[in-house]
Amino acid sequence: AQKITQTQPGMFVQEKEAVTLDCTYDTSDPSYGLFWYKQPSSGEMIFLIYQGSYDQQNATEGRYSLNFQKARKSANLVISASQLGDSAMYFCAMREYNYGQNFVFGPGTRLSVLP
Partner 1 sequence: GAGVSQSPRYKVAKRGQDVALRCDPISGHVSLFWYQQALGQGPEFLTYFQNEAQLDKSGLPSDRFFAERPEGSVSTLKIQRTQQEDSAVYLCASSRQGSTGELFFGEGSRLTVL
Distances (CA, A) of 48 to 30, 69, 90, 100, 113: 23, 18, 10, 24, 17
Which range of residues in 14-22, 45-53, 62-70, 71-79 is near partner 1 by CB under 8 A? 45-53
CA–CA dist 65, 78 (Å, integer): 5
Rule CB under 8 A: say whether 50 interacts with partner 1: yes
Given 29, 33, 64, 67, the residue binding partner 1 (CB under 8 A) = 33
- Confirm or reject binding of residue 47 to partner 1 (CB under 8 A): yes
Q: What is the dihedral of CA 37, 9, 83, 55, to 10 degrees?
A: -40
**15 vs 97 by CB, closer to partner 1:** 97
By DSSP bridging, strand 103-105 and strand 88-96 are antiparallel
Q: Is 103 in the site for partner 1 (CB under 8 A)?
A: yes
Q: Does 38 bind partner 1 (CB under 8 A)?
A: no
35 close to 19: Cβ distance less than 8 angstroms = no
Pick the closer one to partner 1 by CB: 14 or 54.
54
64 lies in the binding site for partner 1 (CB under 8 A): no
Pairwise CA distance, residues 94 & 3, whole Å: 8
Interface residues toward partner 1, by CB under 8 A: 33, 35, 43-45, 47, 50, 52, 89, 91, 93, 95, 97, 100-108, 110
